């Protein structure tokens, strides 16, 4: 039974990474040294941020995810591989939540799915302007993604990892939502203002073009 539980998330992680690799848009960074450097530096920055967490407190792991930033800047497929590398590197230093597979699901796959869904919904149903993009897609996506991530951690802790309490995840969620939301929104604002070409989800023509003249 002890090997069955890790094997299930491992299989899910491998399927997700296989799906991401199958359609990975290499053409977006191929031959573009600046884009390659941004991807590498963002990955290293996310790895470094894993040192700032509460993993040492009763086994509770609370930290910024940055998955929303990676998703909006590089797309879901690249973001999956970036967060997978972050979880893998965090594992030997005990900064991965219950191992690399559960950590990748909680801090990578689930937040990326949430942000991607929110971004799709904003494009489909809300006005296409810069304010809506920053407030709903970046700030809202970051805040909701960490909330869902913490709820997943709390549920798994109650169901499987019963040696640690689950209530800290629930108590910390509102504060982390504001922190992650402002972090994600702030980074995306700076990127779209100074280097919009770094952000795959931002289209100058869609968000910055003047409205068509009235007939």
Whether 62 is covered by a domain: the verdict is yes
Let me know if residue 20 belongs to a domain: yes
pLDDT in tens, the chain (215 residues): 344 456 889 999 999 999 999 989 888 888 889 999 999 999 999 999 888 776 545 567 788 899 999 999 999 999 999 999 999 999 998 889 989 999 999 999 999 999 999 999 999 999 988 999 999 999 999 999 999 999 999 999 998 887 788 888 999 899 999 999 999 999 999 999 999 999 999 987 787 766 655 54
Tell me whether residue 161 is in a domain: yes
Location of structure tokens 């977006």 = 28
- Asked if residue 215 belongs to a domain, the reply is no
CATH code of the domain containing 167: 1.10.1760.20
Answer yes or no: is 48 within a domain.
yes
Six-digit token pair at 180? 């992650």
Name, in order, each residue with C-beta under 8 angstroms of 22's C-beta and a sequence gap of 6 or more.
none
Task: Give the pair of three-digit tokens for residue 177.
Answer: 């939502």
Q: Has residue 46 been placed in a domain?
A: yes
Residue 214 is assigned to a structural domain of this protein: no
C-alpha count within 13 angstroms, C-beta hemisphere, residue 22? 6
Q: CB neighbours (10 Å) of residue 66?
A: 29
pLDDT number for residue 162: 77
Residue written as tokens 């890790």? Answer: 6
Residue 17 lies in a domain: yes
Distance CA(132)–CA(52), nearest Å, equals: 31
Contact 77, 115 (CB under 8 A): no
Angle between helical axes of 141-159 and 167-194 (0-180°, round to 10): 150
Provide the number of structural domains found in the chain.
1
Domain range for 61 is 4-208
Prediction pTM value: 0.92
Helix (H, G, I), strand (E, B) or coil at 101: helix
Residues whose CB falls within 8 Å of the CB of residue 111, separated by 6 or more in sequence, listed in order:
65, 67, 68, 71, 145, 146, 148, 149
* Phi, psi for residue 57 in degrees, rounded to 5: -95, 95
In angstroms, the CA 80 to CA 42 distance is: 13
Q: Are 51 and 91 in contact (CB under 8 A)?
A: no
Name the 3-class secondary structure at 40: helix
């Amino acid at each position: 039974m002890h090997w069955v539980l890790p094997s299930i998330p491992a299989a899910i992680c491998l399927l997700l990474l296989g799906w991401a690799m199958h359609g990975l848009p290499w053409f977006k960074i191929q031959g573009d040294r600046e884009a390659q450097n941004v991807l590498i530096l963002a990955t290293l920055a996310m790895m470094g941020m894993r040192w700032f967490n509460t993993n040492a407190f009763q086994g509770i792991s609370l930290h910024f995810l940055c998955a929303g930033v990676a998703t909006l800047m590089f797309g879901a497929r690249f973001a999956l591989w970036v967060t997978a590398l972050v979880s893998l590197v965090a594992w030997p230093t005990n900064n991965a939540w219950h191992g690399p597979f559960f950590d990748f699901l909680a801090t990578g796959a689930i937040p990326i799915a949430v942000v991607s869904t929110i971004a799709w919904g904003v494009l489909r149903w809300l006005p296409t302007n810069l304010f809506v993009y920053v407030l709903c897609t970046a700030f809202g996506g970051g805040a909701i993604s960490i909330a869902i991530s913490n709820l997943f951690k709390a549920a798994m802790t109650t169901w499987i990892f019963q040696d640690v309490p689950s209530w800290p995840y629930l108590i910390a969620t509102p504060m982390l939502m504001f922190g992650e939301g402002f972090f994600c929104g702030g980074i995306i604002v700076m990127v779209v203002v100074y280097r919009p070409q770094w952000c795959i989800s931002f289209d100058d023509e869609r968000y910055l073009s003047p409205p068509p003249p009235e007939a």
